[in-house]
Structure formats: C-alpha cells, structure tokens
Chains A and B, each alone.
Chain A
Amino acid sequence: MTRWGMVIDLDRCTGCAACEVACKSENNIATVPSRQADMGRAISWMKVMTEVEGEFPNNTLQFYPRPCMHCDNPPCITVCPVRATYINDEGLVGQIYPRCIGCRYCANACPYTVKYFNWYGPEWSESERRHLNPDVSVRPKGVIEKCTFCHHRLQKAREAARAEGRVLREEDYQPACAEVCPTGAIVFGDLDNPNHRVAELKEDPRAMRLLEDLGTQPKVYYLRSRQ
C-alpha cells in the first residue's frame, strides 16, 4: 500500500525558505498586503517555523519547515460537516474547494495549524497572473486550503509512467518543496516502499514527528538536530 510521506533533516535545513517560495509559486498562492500578513492572514502551505533557544548572543536557531502533516488519523476530516476534507487511499489528505462552506472547524481541529482560510479572494498583479500554474486550481474567497503534497504532480507522473509502460519511480513524483531544497533536507516518497529513501530515513534514531503523543500519526518525519 502506498503511503506518501516526507522526512525533513533538521541538520540540513538552513532556513533559506526556498521551499516556501517554491510552494507558493507552484500552488498559485497569492501574496497578501503586509497589513493583512501582520494580522495573521498570509497563506503559506509550507512554512519555515523558527524556534529560538537561549538568549542573545548565546542563542541558537532551529528551523522547522512545516507542511501539512497528512496524518494517517487526521483530526480535521471527522469534524467537517460536508466531507470537504478527506484522506485518500494513498494517505493524502485533500480539500474539496468547491464544496467547502468555510466554517473553519477543520482549521480549529488541526493541532498543527496548517489549514489556511481565504479571508479575501486571491489577487495577483498582471505579471504574476501570467505565471499561474495551470495544473492547480485557484481558490475563491471563503474556503479553506492547505498543502496537498503537490498531488497534481502525482497525477501527471502517473500518466507519464503509464504512457511509458513502467512503474512509478521515486524521482517521478516530488513536491515542489522537496525538489527545490538546496541542501536536500526534504526527502519525499512512499513510506511503505523499501526502495524509497523515506522508508529507511523514517527508521533513523533521530526520526520524530510533531506532537506525536496526540495519536494523529503524521506522515511528515523530522530528523532531530544532532547538537
């Protein structure tokens, strides 16, 4: 059984935020005016969280790139009154934008705060508009959205593999954040496939998941920093 997941090596992450930018560009995420961002309304499916340890100047920074955890036991899907958020056979947690009524119950239920709401409709400048990704639907105002592990790339990769008459390889399907990470900190693949790197990395002694004790079974693993 395929279970798409991610392993993020915190020792390799430099906090460059290339993953954030790649994600926004890949998934047609509009930027918001700075005042809106200050209010906590910026949308960032992948977000590099920064934890400061110690007091300046004897402090260290720890970066946590944080996508949707695509939990095996997602608290967001049971609370949705209209089944607008769901988990599919391959463990991807999706959101049906045309069905979502915008009650934001799922956003409250998510312990990782990865669900974003469209407080206003998205706006792009004319130059940005020309670069919108035709593979990803744009979201109207008033609905919830979140990281999809770039599942549109999976659809394409699967079609390509079928056309070439071969099985899907690990490198065929990579989300934008993993593809762009300059230090290779983000590794993506099928957690249940022994030929994929994530299957081995998730067994690393450094591997941990966020808020593991909640029992949500996230499919995003972090390799703890060695220091």
Chain B
Amino acid sequence: MKRVIQIVFTLVLGLAYLNAADFLMPDQAFKPYAKVNDNMQIQMGVKIAKDIYLYDKKLKIELVDGNGLSIANIQKPATVKHSGDDVYLQSPNFIVTLKNDASLSGIKAVKLKISYQGCSSQGLCYEPYNKIFTLKVDASKLSSNAPKKLKKEVKSQTDTIADTIKSSSFLVVLATFFGFGVLLSLTPCVFPMIPIISGVIISQGEGLTTKKAFALSLVYVLAMAIAYTIAGILAGLFGSNLQAALQTPWVVYSFAAIFVALAASMFGFYELKLPDALVTKVSSNSKRSGFIGVAIMGFLSALIVGPCVAAPLAGALVYIGQTGDALLGGAALFSMSIGMGVLLILVGVSAGKFMPKPGPWMVMVNEIFGVLMLGVAIWMLEKVLPSSITILMYAMVGLGFSVHFGAFDKEGHSFKRTISLLLFIYSLALFISVLAGVPSIKQPLGFLKPSVVTASSSIKTKEFQFTKVRSLEELNALLQKNKGKKIMLDFAADWCTACKELDEVTFADPRVRKKLSDYVLIRADLTKNGAKEKALSKAYGVFGPPAIIFFDKDLQVIEPQTIIGYMEPDEFLNHLNSL
C-alpha cells in the first residue's frame, strides 16, 4: 500500500529531480513585470524560471491606488491541474483593462499590486511574494464603460466586418461592402481583369457606341458579381476553400487556353467575336450574342482571376458561415462585387469610347490586347507552373511582339519603335535570366550583381525561414515542440497571389524580419489542397490563404490578432508590436 501511495504521490507531484540541492533564489525564480500596451491595457504577470510553477489561487492582481481609474476586467491565461491545484506551468501574462468612470483626462499614475506564490518542481515551495508597480496611463484613451469598446479595438478585421453585418441595417451593410469593393478594385487582384474587359469590348468591333460599351461592361460586372455571390454563399455555407477549388491545375489550364484562343482571335488568326460555342448557338441575334458572351466571360473571369481572399470577402464568408444567413451575406458580397466593378465599367466604357476608327490602328490595338491576353494566360499559369517556365513564356511573347511591332524597323513612328525596343531589351533580359538559372521578373539581370551581396543576402534568408507543414499532425507536433515560444502560423499556397506579395514585400522588409526573428515561423502549405490541407484550414477557420495566426505561450490562438489577406510592412509591424 505504501508503495502505491508513494508512486501516486510521485506521479501527482511530478517531483522531477528531488536530489538537486541548488534551488533558485526567489528573485531568480520569479520575475514580476508590468507594462502598458498600445490599447492602454496593462500587461502584467510573473516570468518564471525553468521547473517553477505558480498557484492560480495565490496569484492576485489588485489596484492599490487607481488615481480615479478602476479595473474593468482582468483577462487570465489558462491554468493546468497539478497535484490537485490549478497552476501555471508557463509564465502567466494577465491583461488588465482599466475604466475611466469619472471621465478624467491626462496621464494618471496607477499603482497595481501583483501577489504570487509558487514552487519548484524539484521539491521546494517558495514564500508568497508581491510587488507594486506604478504605471502611467492616458486616462483620456480609456472608455467609461469598458471593456466593450476596448475589446472591439483589438478585434480582427474579419471580425469587425462580420460584426458590421450583424449590427448594421441592411442598407448600411450594402453601402459598406460597396466601399470595400471600390477599395479592392485598387489592389493588384483586379488588375488582370482590366485587359480582359478591354479586350472583350474592343473585340465587339466597329460601330460600338459608348452606350453599348457601358451596357457590355455592366453585364460583365454583373456576371462577375453573381459569380462571386454564388461562390461566396456556397463557400460560406459549406465552409470550403473557395479559392483553392478554383485554382486546381486543370481549371487553370483550361482558362489559360481560353485566353490564348482569345488572343489568337485578336491577332486575326480566325474570326471569332467571342470564344464560346454558346455564343454561336444564339448568334442569330447578334445583339444578344455579345451580351451573353460578355456575361460568360465576366462570370468565368471572376472565378479565376479575382478571388483574392481579402478581408471583406472573408468577413462576409465568416458571417454566412456563422449565421447561415445566406441572404444578407450574399447581398453584401454582391454589393462588394459591384463596387469592385466600378473601375472595370469605367475601363470598359473608355475602351469603347476611345477606340480608334477602323484602319491600321485598329489592327494594332487588337494586337496589343492580344498580347495582354497572352500575358493574362501566362499569369494564370504562374499558379501551377514553375517561374522559370512562365518567365520564359513572358520572354518569348515579349521578344516576338517587340520585333513584330517594329523594334528593328527603320520606318514608323519613333515613339513606337522606342517602346518596342525597350520591350525587346527587357524581354531579352528575362530570357537571359532564365538561361542563367535565376529567373526574375523584377530584376532579370540581378544575378550580375557582385556575388558578395548575394552571399550576405543568402545568409539573411537562412535566418528567416518558415518551417513548412502540410497536415494537422505535423502542425501539432511542431507546436508542441515550440510550446512557450512566440509562434506565427502563415497559411500560404504557391497559387495565391497575395501570399507572394506578402513574401516579396512584407516579409522581405528588414524591419519585419528583425521583429520576426524571435518568432517560430510555421507555414501551412495549402498548394496541393488535398484532404489533409483542407482539414488544416478548417481547424483554424481559414477560408483561404493568406491568413496569419499567432499563438500565445499556451498554444492558444490569439484570435483578435489574426490577419486575413495582405498587409503592408508598416501596418504589419504595428500589428506585431501590439501583440
């Protein structure tokens, strides 16, 4: 019996190394701290040394002198059971939210006391200690009925948007999302649609009035909006990865083929007003055929080109997913797509309006749009093909057309010749970069730089590296291994344009790299998007990349800090600082 008790006790207490006689002094074992964060909340806690744990019931935070302010809420970290007591095995960090009921203003000194008691798992329990911190808090930044307002401030963008839908009236929601759409149309996500719509409208040929150009653009945008809405509602209801489903290789290949066919028709290889068999079926009515063709193009190009998972889209999806209210969520998405389309309508109308009179110019404009279409086709292939191949394609298209447009002609307008020559030189550089084995769009001849520079930069990239995971098991193993550290989990995929932007701009920023150097960086690679990858994104409620999730020391997701979509380096730095 005694043996049993002994075993039980040893297990329960987990006295790991009872023989170790060197115990830490209390000031080494416990290091209390307190600081004010950007939201005027107080972060306080006790940093504990290895093998030290703290009792939850002995850990108290009290206001000694509030100077007119009082405590609204204390956010506690999670505890674990340890020999029957709730304890903190990791350094606990508390977030104290203050309130300002007396409507004071200015900087106030606040005195807070933290009391704590803990033991070493090597077999020694320390005395209770306490420490008083005096902190300066800007009272005017505190709300009187905290913590409501403060809480909202730290909510993620997605949550805020989902909340907007919940709390606002129908019209406000629609207007807000329209605004989001207009803003979205200024991001690179929408740019590939510009040559498509211009091309589609130009290809309508002669006799195109501004009115018809407007009508066509509107149809294109409406079709795009409907596509977004349907896809969005389905994704929201079924929680699937909308973007990924549309980025499977065969879909991308088919669309690239469509754009190549479009380009070919632009070059006049064959007479095809619109590249769809459906159009010829209804071609008896030539007026309608144009519209239907444009509508189909709009519908398809929305699915393929535009699904950058940006915050508003994800917000609407979260709302639909949470409430199942497909009507309001769908209406919001529709409104957003129309907002996105405003710019496209403008482009479409002007494409129609400023279309030159028939003649040799017409041929050239058609050809230019043909080149742009080929560009779009290659751009889409970037998602599924290695960059060496796509850059080679760009180079070939560029070389071919610069020569065609007269880079080496002795006649013709000097402006046209200069542009063609520039395009030729750039394309040649691209081609050389592929031959040199270092294909790059931005700096095709970057490999010519002194090797010292590349050596030092390669050292830098070595320090900055994501550990890739493809399944929940891999992720969990990695998380457990790095428990207690700061962890950033980035959902990305090779086919995700915004992820590339994050990599090339935000994560490439030296300040961001420095700040991220004390984080464990994990990348959930969703490129394949099989069952494992889907389970991974589902576990964290991610609709599609990019999404960045931060974990606290107890491996809990710091939900308000989740980032969805692209973020500029400065904003990202601020975000990191607020963690």
B is bound to A = no
